[in-house]
Chains A and B, each alone.
Chain A
Amino acid sequence: MIETTFNPEEIRFRASGIYHLCTHLESITEKQLEMLDTLAAKEKRTEKQGETLTGLIAKRDKPDELPSGAITHLYDIYDSHVYGIREDIGGKHIDKGNLCEQDSLELITPYFGFLVKNVETFENGLIKGTPDALTDEVVIDTKTSWNLRTWRAAEVTALYEWQLQAYMHLTGRKKAILAYCLVDTPMMLIEDEIKRQTYYKGIIDDVSDEYHEIEMQVQRNMIFSDRIPAKNRVKFLTIDRDEKKIDAMKRRSEMAISKLKEIHELELNYKPELR
């Protein structure tokens, strides 16, 4: 049965997923805009140049629309609310993140003092979110890296940039800090990793030298505090509040609500057809 009481107006988009609604904001590239200006400034244009100019103007003035990725995200939200279908996105990385949140907060204590883990969910308009921690000036989100390699490669991804813009919008802060932390992996996950690696290599004898070697290497790869100083395991990336982006996320959220209404109508009136 389709949940007919579903009301898209009640949906609040999570900050952690807002990025999916906010891709492809600019329909025209900087380079194309430059070309448009150059062509428009010309007194005389060839036929081909005229066509290009018309095309570029049309592109620039095209009304904003949700990209296909956003629509897929909205279907996920819809299926979750109406049918209770949620894909399990769990895994070892997520497990470590969940279990080590406090360890990461501890790692950044020398820089911010004692930070209480924030449990309050903030809501503003159509967006909601629960940042990890807040000070009077900044909103802080910790990301626990899986290993040294992922920690070294960690940068501000578009996904996190939008998430933190949303947090700043929700909490009124002007600055956000993304803190990448490399902390020891919980023993339970280390054991899983040993099991995975020994199974993959076909080693079943848990007292053999090969098993022991893998066990030791996995532990070296996943425990860091005994060799790497705390200061070398934390990376701060600052993001400034961007009002243009916040406006865009508000606009796209409203568009997303309309799209959800449309999806619901389509679902209610759906009839199988030969295509």
Chain B
Amino acid sequence: MNELVNQAKALAPSEGVFSTLQGFEHWQRVAKMISESNIVPSNYQKNVANVMIAIEMANRIGVSPFMVMQNLDIIKGKPSWSSTFIISAINSCGRFEPLRFVFEGQPKTDGYGCRAITKDKNGQECKGPLVNWQMVKAEGWFDKSGSKWKTMPELMFQYRAASFFGRLYAPDIMNGMHSVEETIDVIASKAKPDPEKVSNEKELTRLEKHLATVTDAEDLDLLLQTVSHSETMTEMVQARIDELNTEEQ
């Protein structure tokens, strides 16, 4: 990947595509040609405007437009870098030694997590922020449906640690953008929940908490009548009644 980035830099546009009229016209022609290609990612096919933006990005960070197009994904309208691109861009920018990932804390505890570290060219250690389970849970990344944090946590820790490192130490490379994984997590956790679904879920939790405090069989019989409209709630109350009966025996 580093090698590819270095090769890509040689193909980078030398001036801003929007800075002069001639430059704009020239790159527009290039963009039109690229957009006709069917080997560029679908976000750029038949979309001159997207290609122009990719060329501009490439110009700003000094890599080939193809590199940008391969690694810049649009997640719900937000441009986001792939994490592998962020890592390779940091590794090849010449300002740092290659990134290393250090895991800290006890596995399976909230304190367990990862940070990206390296040294700059003066030998100074650069330590990225720690990403741990506590943060993952508090930010709601774990709970979203289809979360990769459930299936490949090690990789997600490293991707996120790299992304945070990049935002702190190499924001010029990331141009203020986030990684794909970060954007997916954030957008999913920001989605407005359905109040009815929230209400139904919370009501069951509320009942569960309440049942734990009830020890009087008569109270439970009354409660059984109150919740008779709901099968799940009836089952919960019935289960508590059975539990109390077993305890008595």
A interface residues, Cβ below 8 angstroms from B: 95, 98-99, 101-103, 105-106, 109, 113-114, 116-117, 119, 186-188, 191, 207
Contact = CB atoms under 8 A, between A and B. Distances in A.
B210 to A, nearest CB: 5
Contacts of A105: 203, 206
B226 A116 contact: yes
Contacts of A191: 190
Interface string B216-235: 00010001001101100100
A95 B168 CA distance: 34
Contacts of A98: 195, 199
Contacts of B229: 116, 119
Contacts of B226: 114, 116
Top 4 A-B pairs ranked by shortest CB distance?
A102-B202, A98-B195, A114-B210, A106-B206
Contacts of A103: 202
Given A99-B198, A102-B199, A187-B140, A114 B193 contact: no
A106 B199 CA distance: 12
A191 B191 CA distance: 12
A114 B206 contact: yes
A99 B168 contact: no
B207 interface: yes
B192 interface: yes
Contact of B199 (A101, A113, A114, A187): A101
A119 to B, nearest CB: 8
A188 B193 CA distance: 9
Contacts of A188: 189-190, 192-193
A207 B209 CA distance: 38
Interface in B170-206: 189-190, 192-193, 195, 198-199, 202-203, 205-206
Nearest to B233: A116
Nearest to B204: A102
Contacts of B209: 106
5 contacts: A98-B195, A101-B199, A106-B206, A117-B199, A117-B203
B164 to A, nearest CB: 9
Contacts of A113: 219
Contacts of B203: 102, 105, 116-117
Contact of B223 (A95, A99, A102, A114): A114
A169 B98 CA distance: 74
A109 B210 contact: yes
A207 B207 contact: no
B175 to A, nearest CB: 14
A88 to B, nearest CB: 13
A226 to B, nearest CB: 15
A207 B167 CA distance: 10
Nearest to A118: B229
A95 B198 CA distance: 12
A207 B195 CA distance: 32
B57 to A, nearest CB: 20
B195 A116 contact: no
Contacts of A114: 206-207, 210, 223, 226
